[in-house]
């Protein structure tokens, strides 16, 4: 159960210098009202978990800046439990960030533009650990929705500080003008995967 909750928190959720999205808009997370993604999967080799994200509306923080509210609905088979909550995404000139709630002082960084192969950044502090991200080029991904030849791969590590001990690894694959198509989380001997099964973009 503890592993599943760690995965749940993680889902909310970078050598050559080549620009992955050269000549394009680098929109690996399209934000518009009504955009919806559904991923299915679970603890490997089992399945049964489902995650749905839907862009609901623009909201404002007390600082006056606007964000996109994204509703999350997650069903965890092992826990036989459905969780509903939301996050807030904001595209800045050189960042895509997520605020867990509108009162959070500091966001976590999903992307740091430009998206260069080998680029690294600090995502933020997740459940007492520091998460760092690394762009590992592009590769092919198979999902129930279809096959994607050049999905952007971002590898993350959560490390406890002090001690710098590895707590969790996660990998996300994104496709330009589509969004996240696959996610994998590794915690000790547990491997959990989610793959895109449907989406609706506006």
Task: For residue range 131-158, list pLDDT tens digits in order.
Answer: 999 999 999 999 999 999 999 999 999 9
pTM: 0.86
Burial of residue 111, with CB atoms counted within 10 A of its CB: 0-12 exposed, 13-18 middle, 19 or more buried? buried
Task: For residue range 79-132, list pLDDT tens digits in order.
Answer: 899 999 999 999 988 999 999 888 888 899 999 999 999 999 999 988 788 999
Provide the 3-class DSSP secondary structure of residue 78: coil
Range 2-200 has CATH code 2.60.40: no
| Share of residues in the chain with pLDDT > 70 (%) | 87
**How many C-beta atoms surround the C-beta of residue 95 within 10 A?**
14
Provide the 3-class DSSP secondary structure of residue 8: helix
- Helix (H) / strand (E) element for 3: namely helix 2-11
**How many C-beta atoms surround the C-beta of residue 107 within 10 A?**
20
């Amino acid at each position: 159960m503890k592993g599943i909750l760690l995965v749940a928190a993680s889902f909310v959720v970078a050598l050559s210098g080549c620009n992955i999205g050269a000549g394009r808009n680098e929109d690996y997370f399209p934000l518009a009202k009504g955009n919806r993604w559904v991923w299915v999967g679970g603890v490997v080799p089992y399945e049964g978990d489902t995650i749905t994200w839907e862009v609901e509306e623009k909201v404002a923080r007390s600082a006056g800046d606007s964000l996109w509210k994204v509703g999350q609905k997650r069903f965890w088979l092992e826990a036989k439990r459905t969780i509903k909550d939301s996050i807030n995404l904001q595209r800045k000139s050189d960042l895509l960030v997520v605020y867990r709630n509108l009162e959070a002082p500091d966001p976590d960084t999903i992307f740091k533009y430009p998206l260069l192969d080998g680029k690294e950044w600090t995502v933020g502090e997740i459940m007492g650990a520091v998460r760092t991200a690394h762009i590992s080029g592009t590769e092919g991904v198979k999902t129930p929705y279809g096959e994607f030849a050049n999905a952007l791969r971002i590898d993350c590590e959560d490390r406890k500080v002090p001690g710098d001990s590895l707590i969790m690894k996660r990998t996300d694959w994104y496709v330009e003008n589509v969004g996240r198509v696959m996610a994998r989380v590794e915690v000790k001997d547990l491997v959990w995967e989610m793959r895109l099964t449907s989406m609706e973009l506006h």
